[in-house]
Amino acid sequence: MLQALQKEIQNCLAQLGWESPQFVVERPRKNTFGHASSNVALTLAKQLKRRPLDIAQDIAKELEDKINDLDKIEVVAPGFINFFFSPLYFQTFIPKIRKEKAAFQKSGIGKGKTVQVEFVSANPTGPLTIGHGRQAVLGDTISRILEWHDYDVTREYYFNDAGRQMRMLGLSVLARYKELLGEELNIPEGGYEGEYIIDIAQGFRKEHGDLKCEDDLELFIEFASHAIFIIIRDTLKRLGIEHDVYYNEKDLYKTGKIKEVLEQLAEKGHTYEEDGATWFKATKFGTEKDRVLVKDTGEPTYRLPDIAYHREKIKRGFDLIIDIFGSDHHATYPDVKSALEAMDLDTSHIRVLLHQFVTLTRDGEKVKMSTRKANFVTLDELMALVGTDVVRYFYIMRSMDSHLNFDLALAQKQSDENPVFYLQYAHARMCNILIHSSEKGIESYEKADLTLLNEPEIIKLLETMIEFSDIMDICRTSLEPMHLTNYLYRLATAFHKFYSVHRVVTENIELSKARLQLVDAVKIILANGLNILAVKTPERM
C-alpha cells in the first residue's frame, strides 16, 4: 500500500516537472493523520524555494482523482500530506487474501537470485549453548524471510574441523579415555572439561576397544568432531533448522585452497616474512594492523582459512552472501575483506550481520557461559524447558544490536507474560469462531456483503492486515526479523480488540457472514507470519 502510493507520488512529481527528492510515505502514528502520510512537500521546499504548505496543496490537488477509493487528502502544517482511504478500499482486500492465501502480497523480488546465509558455524567442541541459539534462529528466520521473497537460499555451516581447538578436543577425549583404562586423569591446560567428553570417550572405547593409541591423536580428533557434529546437527533439527551445506575447513587444506590464497597474495606483493611468520599487509587496505597468516610453527592462523573460505564463497557465484557472526567477531571481518580485495575480488554483495550476546540470568544473577569450563546451559536444555516456539520467538524479538536478556526463571513460567501465547491464542480464537459458526448452522459464508464491515475496530484491523507486505519488505532490506514479531503482535492486538467489541456469530446472518470472512482473512495473515517464523499455529489451546 505504501509502496504503491510512493510510486503514485513520484509520477505526480514528474507531471509537475519537479525532481523527485528522497521522501517517505509512512503510516502515521495517530489515526487523526489518516491511513498514510508523506513528507514530500517538506523535502521539496528547499529545491523549489516555496512554502511547503503550498507545495503540498499542489501535489494534493494533482493526486486527488488519481487514487482509487480515497476518502480525502488533507494538507497539514508544516506541510504533511495525509491520505484517508474509504472503507471500501480496505474491504476489497478480503476476497484477495482468502483467494491467494499463503501467496498474498508475495513480492517475488528474489526470483532467480541466489543467497547464501552462513550461520552458527560454532566450533565442534561441545553442544550448542544458549549463546549459539540466537544466531541459529536469526539465521534460519532470515533465510525463511528471503525464501518468502522467492530467493533461492543456501543455509551453510562453516565447520572448523581443523586447528588448535580441535587438537585440544582430541587431547581432552584422549585424557578421559585413558582414565577409563584406569590411568590417572590428566586434562591438558586449556582442555575441555564437560561431561560430554566422557560420553565421547566411552563411545570411542566401544568402537575401538582398549588401545595403546596415545600417538594417534588424529583418530581421537576425528571421532570426537564427528560425534559432536551429530550432537549439534540433531539439536538444530529439533529447533527446525537444517543446513544445506556443511563446509569443512579441512577441505580447504585438502584441495589446496589455502595454498592458492597464500600464493595469490604473495604474487601481488601483499605479504612478507618476519620473525619466521608470514604476514598480510592489511594496513595497505585501511586496517589498523598487519596480520599473521602463517605462524612461525608453519601452522596457519584462523584468518587464513577464513579468507580462503570467503574466496570460495565468492567464486561460487551467489548474488548475495550473508554472514552472521557474534559481536566478538567484529574485528576479524575487516581483515578478511581486505584480503579479498587484495585478490581483486568484489565484496560488495557480502553483508555481515553482527549480533550482540545473550545474557543469561537466573534469579536476577548473571550466569557466565563457557564451553570449555562446562558451566553453560545448552540449547537443548532450554528447548526442553520452554519449547521450540518460545525459543524461536524470544531469540528474534529483540534487535540484534541489543543484548538479549534471557531470564531462565521467567522462561520456565510459561505464563501470560509470554507473547508467543498471545499470538497463538489469537489464532486459536479465530479457528474456534469458524468452527462455532458451522455449529450454529452457517454452512457457508462465501456470499457476504463486505460493506457491512465498517466499524473503526474493523478498519483498524484491516489496515494492519494489509501492512504485511510493507513489513516483509522492511525485513528484507534490514534483515531484522524483529520487525515481523512486532508486527504480528500488533496484528493479534488489533484482532483481540475487535473480538472484545464485536461478536462475530449473531442472529444477524448477513453481518455474521461478512465478519466470518474477515476472521478467515486475518487467520490467513497471522498464519502466514507465524509460518515464516516457524512458530506453530494451534487450532485449540
Answer yes or no whether residue 27 interacts with RNA by CB under 7 A. Answer: yes
- Full 3-state SS string of 440-470: CCCCCCCCCCHHHCCCHHHHHHHHHHCCHHH
Q: Round to whole Å and give the CA distance between 111 and 304.
A: 34
Answer yes or no whether residue 164 interacts with RNA by CB under 7 A. Answer: yes
Answer yes or no whether residue 26 interacts with RNA by CB under 7 A. Answer: yes
Answer yes or no whether residue 469 interacts with RNA by CB under 7 A. Answer: no
Q: How far is the CB of 406 from RNA (least distance, A)?
A: 9
Q: Round to whole Å and give the CA distance between 250 and 228.
A: 16
Q: Round to whole Å and give the CA distance between 287 and 302.
A: 17
**348 or 500, CB closer to RNA?**
500
**61 or 503, CB closer to RNA?**
503
Q: Round to whole Å and give the CA distance between 538 and 388.
A: 14
Q: Round to whole Å and give the CA distance between 477 and 489.
A: 21
**321 or 404, CB closer to RNA?**
404
Q: How far is the CB of 194 from RNA (least distance, A)?
A: 17
Q: Round to whole Å and give the CA distance between 139 and 59.
A: 43
**327 or 375, CB closer to RNA?**
327
Q: How far is the CB of 184 from RNA (least distance, A)?
A: 26
Q: Round to whole Å and give the CA distance between 491 and 431.
A: 16
Restricting to residues 312-341, which ones interact with RNA according to CB under 7 A? Answer: 327-332
Restricting to residues 184-223, which ones interact with RNA according to CB under 7 A? Answer: none
Restricting to residues 66-125, which ones interact with RNA according to CB under 7 A? Answer: 76, 78, 80, 82, 123
Restricting to residues 408-427, which ones interact with RNA according to CB under 7 A? Answer: 414, 416-417, 419, 421-422, 425
Answer yes or no whether residue 510 interacts with RNA by CB under 7 A. Answer: no
Q: Round to whole Å and give the CA distance between 336 and 345.
A: 11
Restricting to residues 217-256, which ones interact with RNA according to CB under 7 A? Answer: none
Where does 239-332 have alpha helices with state H?
249-254, 257-267, 303-315
Of 202, 272, 403, 412, the one binding RNA by CB under 7 A: 403
Of 360, 433, 466, 521, the one binding RNA by CB under 7 A: 433
Q: Round to whole Å and give the CA distance between 386 and 383.
A: 5
With CB under 7 A as the rule, give the number of residues binding RNA: 88
Binding segment toward RNA, per CB under 7 A, in 53-61, 106-114, 252-260, 472-480: 472-480
Q: How far is the CB of 371 from RNA (least distance, A)?
A: 11
Closest CA to 397 of 486, 311, 521: 486
**64 or 100, CB closer to RNA?**
64
Q: How far is CA 121 from CA 116, 326, 336, 527, in A?
A: 13, 10, 16, 31
Closest CA to 167 of 125, 110, 111: 125
Q: Which residue has the cell 567477531?
A: 329
**114 or 486, CB closer to RNA?**
486
Q: How far is the CB of 180 from RNA (least distance, A)?
A: 27
- Provide the edge-to-edge strand list for the sheet that holds 36-38: 25-26, 36-38, 80-85, 70-76
Answer yes or no whether residue 541 interacts with RNA by CB under 7 A. Answer: yes
Mask: binding to RNA, 259-278, rule CB under 7 A, as x and -?
---------------xxxx-
Q: How far is the CB of 182 from RNA (least distance, A)?
A: 31
Q: How far is the CB of 490 from RNA (least distance, A)?
A: 8
Answer yes or no whether residue 288 interacts with RNA by CB under 7 A. Answer: yes
Within 13 A of 522's CA, how many CA atoms are on the CB side?
A: 33
Q: Phi and psi dihedrals of 160, rounded to 5?
A: -75, 80
Within 13 A of 243's CA, how many CA atoms are on the CB side?
A: 23
Closest CA to 166 of 222, 122, 120: 222
Of 17, 29, 112, 209, the one binding RNA by CB under 7 A: 29
**347 or 493, CB closer to RNA?**
493
Of 18, 33, 229, 285, the one binding RNA by CB under 7 A: 33
Answer yes or no whether residue 289 interacts with RNA by CB under 7 A. Answer: yes
Answer yes or no whether residue 301 interacts with RNA by CB under 7 A. Answer: yes
Contacts of 537 (CB under 8 A, 6+ apart): 424, 427, 526, 527, 530, 531
Q: Which amino acid is at 67?
A: I
Restricting to residues 343-402, which ones interact with RNA according to CB under 7 A? Answer: 354, 356-357, 397-399, 401-402
Answer yes or no whether residue 163 interacts with RNA by CB under 7 A. Answer: yes
Restricting to residues 34-53, which ones interact with RNA according to CB under 7 A? Answer: 37, 39, 42-43, 45-46
Binding segment toward RNA, per CB under 7 A, in 102-110, 135-143, 191-199, 299-307: 299-307
Q: Which amino acid is at 331?
A: A
**107 or 414, CB closer to RNA?**
414
Q: Which amino acid is at 53?
A: L
**Residues 521/432, Cβ–Cβ less than 8 Å:** no
